[in-house]
Structure 1
Amino acid sequence: MNLDNALGVDRAPHGSSDDPNVLDFSANTNPRVPEGVEAVYRDAFAESRSYPSEPPADYRDAAAEYVDCQPDEVIPTPGGLAAIRSVVDLAVSPGDSVLVPFPSFGEYAREVPLQGGEPAFVPHDAVLDIDRSDLAEHALAIVCNPNNPTGETYDSAALDTFAARCRDVDTPLLVDEAFLGFTDQPSLAGTPGVVVARSLTKLFGLPGLRSGFAVTTGEYGEALAAARRPWNVSGPALATGAYCLRQTEFVAETRERVRTERPRLRDALSEQFDVRPSDAPFLLCDVGDRDVDRILEYARERGLALRDARTFRGLDSHIRVAVRLPAENDHLIEVLGDV
């Protein structure tokens, strides 16, 4: 990254509202947190008068057990986005091409130009079809699984095959698994040639904690470990993160709730909009010829924040809504039913 690159890149838009009087359907974070997490965070405050342990062994152990990899393959980061930036920083040089899916998380297209690279946009549902000769032209390939904002997961076998194809041509593959914890699909963590980025923001409902990690092997594992700043994740974030990653019952309950509520919400909203199938804790809705701004304003006036999905590349008549608690989803259905 250099001055000229940074000056030439805009901020990427995101969902979320900090208005306490608004029910936030624009951010896809869990409306619940694990029981006992606040006490863990408070207890960790006393440790903040000294530097966190280095390396943070307990956090790495918890993360490794959670995604089924080796602890020394875990690189702690202050959120999943920090893991993404670290990988792009290592892989991309000025003038390099990077395979970027669309519509997908907007930060990919922001991080690549920050390093002087050029995003090569490919439809998200066609990424895994890229052949070896085309892959060899890219310094990095990116996949979001499940994809944000469309919500679908990739077939595990097809994703494994794609990872092998990337490996064959020495193109590293970055897989953003920010929402994979809401599904039963196994992580690609520990797969040679693959860097996985994980976040605790979404599944554990703690976006302000800024805790995540990368998982990788081989030379990228060595490079990420060497490049990681010491004490890059705070002591309270490490302690709270390790605690959350071990809350298997909370994870199972969250998955079941989302699995139950998502089709119910989709069926209800489908009476008004064209709603895509999803494996994630959110739904993408095409509102057709309705005025998106008016829908967003109408919902806001009734205390609901929705995500303007027109900010995603390739979408021009869409909103995205999170799958929240049953009573909250009922309120969303009621409000949007009157649009």
Structure 2
Amino acid sequence: MSENTAPLPLKEYLLALEPTAHGGLIRKSSQEYDIPESEMLDASASLNPFGTPFEHPYTGLKIESLLEKGLDKMEQYPDNRYLEFKKAAAKFTGMGVKPENIIPGNGSTEIIRLVAECIIEEGDTVLIPQPTFSEYEIQCKVLGAKIKYIHQEELSSLDGEILEEAKILFVCNPNSPTGKLLTREEVIDIAERCARNKTLLFLDEAFIELADPSKSIADMAEGNEFLFIQRSLTKSFAIPGIRMGFGIASEDFAKVLDNARLSWNLGCVADTIATTLLDMEGGANSKFLRESREFIETERNFLMEKLTRRGFKPFESSVNYIFVDISEFSMNSTELAQRMAAHGVLIRDCNSFQEIGNQYIRIAVRTREENERIASTIKLVVNEWGREQAEAMLDTNIKNASDCGRLGSNFSCDYYPCHFEGQDCTFCFCPFYPCKDERTGGQWIESSAGGNVWSCLYCNIIHEPEVVDDVLSVLVKEGRNKESIKKAWKNALETRL
């Protein structure tokens, strides 16, 4: 910057903002790992795995026809009243919601910003239960709000003192990334406590159509000036590239928000497609969405079982993604996500969520074939990582043996005694694995993921002190490579089998 150039007249708190990192992940990973985009599986974005309504002929919807219809209006401004959209959104929601309760939005982020702009003044406090959708925090910070974090578990016991100091409480139901769905009674209780303390409850129901729409409290919006409900269409209909959503509020509140929103915030294509999708027979309980929920439940149960078998700790979920605790692994969430991406599968590293650390991931529920690929890729990555760690330990032990003469019995091994008393654990990781020689006591066993895998459970030979001496005499002298491994096998094991 030139000495004579004045600094930009920006609000100081804006300088610390970070850009949203979503979008473009497939292209970025494809380029980084040299994998064609068409071969990347995105299990980081939580979209309806049942696909779009356009993929199911019984809906009678064709994207080409809707695009043509929308583009016919390209040379004119949209009708900023969005009368057809509001009518369709009210019909879709049901529960007594009227068109006058609807505020059109260009996706979730714009709706969050709109409400924040209309409610928050610089220095106001907002309550955000963690972990949850990061856009609440980002959009409120743009307005200069002070963020006060609470834990999700505290929602049921928030007292008046905490609520009184807050302009907005954000609640995501079902929550992202955990997938937990609060009951209707629990949400009503929160809404009533917020109203008593004049705190706006911003209730994000973006995923509720994929969980259980009967848990919505949209019917309460008209009678509660301190309640705003957000709905998103992009997740339920798997079309995130076409930004569209809507808010639900009392008629008076909705009128203010509708007047304050950006004019023409839905373009002709988004307006046409959104209105048509919302107008489907049955609304949130249309055949398409009912079958979507059934499909998600089946595939979520399948993927949960696979993840549990891998030793992960998946949390119970009500929706199309699974929150997973990987704290028992030495590999953190960032490294796991990177290793998965290198094999063409993208998962969500939850390190970006508030104060959550690097011990959690989120995995989207996909189709059966894709879920099998996710599970097999996790197994591959964990096995590769484990082998790398074990081989590093093996190389260290060989070096120590070279420096010290030999290690002797490694009684500090975490798994001692894994085979028998008097064992030598210098080779905690067998340099011959998988030898596939049943004379050692090793055998083929059925894998939990299907197929057979070589097991060393009943092999003791590599832990016999004299065998260790003979193997070390070769590997210390010649290093660990293919030829030295063959020679050590011949000298130390072949004569004993």
Coarse TM-score class (shorter-chain normalised): over 0.9
SS in structure 1 of the partner of residue 277 of structure 2? helix
Q: Percent identity?
A: 29
Match of 1:23 in 2: 41
| From 273, 291, 305, the counterpart of 2:346 | 305
Q: Write the letter of the residue equivalent to 2:319.
A: A
CA distance in 2, matches of 1:16, 1:324: 19
| From 219, 222, 237, the counterpart of 2:270 | 237
Relative to structure 2, which stretch is displaced further, 285-294 or 106-115? 285-294
CA distance in 1, matches of 2:322, 2:62: 28
Does residue 222 in structure 1 map to residue 217 in structure 2?
no
Q: CA deviation at 1:254?
A: 1.0
Does residue 38 in structure 1 map to residue 63 in structure 2?
yes
CA distance in 1, matches of 2:370, 2:263: 41
Q: Write the letter of the residue equivalent to 2:52.
A: V
Which structure exhibits the higher relative contact order, with contacts defined as CA atoms closer than 8 Å and separated by 6 or more residues? 1
Q: CA deviation at 1:54?
A: 3.0
Match of 1:88 in 2: 116
Relative to structure 2, which stretch is displaced further, 232-241 or 10-19? 10-19
Query: For the structure 1 residues 55 and 228, does the alpha-carbon distance in structure 2 shift closer, same or farther, using more than 3 Å as the test?
Result: same
Q: How many residues align?
A: 338
List per-residue Cα deviations over 1:193-231 (Å, max 9, x = no partner).
211111111111111101111111154323202102321
Q: CA deviation at 1:141?
A: 0.8
Where in structure 1 are there 5+ consecutive unaligned residues? none
Match of 1:262 in 2: 300
Does residue 324 in structure 1 map to residue 363 in structure 2?
no
| From 291, 309, 328, the counterpart of 1:253 | 291
Quick check: which has more Rg, 1 or 2?
2
Q: CA deviation at 1:293?
A: 3.4
SS in structure 2 of the partner of residue 208 of structure 1? coil
CA distance in 1, matches of 2:334, 2:244: 33
Q: Is the 8 A contact 1:135 1:171 kept in 2?
A: yes
Query: For the structure 1 residues 180 and 159, does the alpha-carbon distance in structure 2 shift closer, same or farther, using more than 3 Å as the test?
Result: same
Q: Write the letter of the residue equivalent to 1:176.
A: D
| From 6, 18, 22, the counterpart of 1:10 | 18
CA distance in 1, matches of 2:218, 2:261: 18
Match of 1:290 in 2: 330
Q: Write the letter of the residue equivalent to 2:267.
A: S
List per-residue Cα deviations over 1:219-261 (Å, max 9, x = no partner).
4323202102321111110110112223422211111110111
TM-score by length of 2: 0.65
Q: Write the letter of the residue equivalent to 1:204.
A: F
CA distance in 2, matches of 1:127, 1:120: 13
The runs of 4+ residues in structure 1 deviating greater than 3 Å are 12-16
SS in structure 2 of the partner of residue 170 of structure 1? coil
CA distance in 2, matches of 1:123, 1:13: 24
List per-residue Cα deviations over 1:79-135 (Å, max 9, x = no partner).
011111111111111111111110001111111221111111011222232022321
Match of 2:241 in 1: 208
Where in structure 2 are there 5+ consecutive unaligned residues? 1-9, 28-36, 55-60, 281-285, 383-497
List per-residue Cα deviations over 1:273-328 (Å, max 9, x = no partner).
01111112100111123313332233222211111111112322111110011111
Q: CA deviation at 1:16?
A: 6.4
Q: Map of 1:161-172 to 2, 5 A cutoff?
A: 161-172=189-200
Does residue 337 in structure 1 map to residue 373 in structure 2?
no
Q: Write the letter of the residue equivalent to 2:112.
A: I
TM-score by length of 1: 0.95
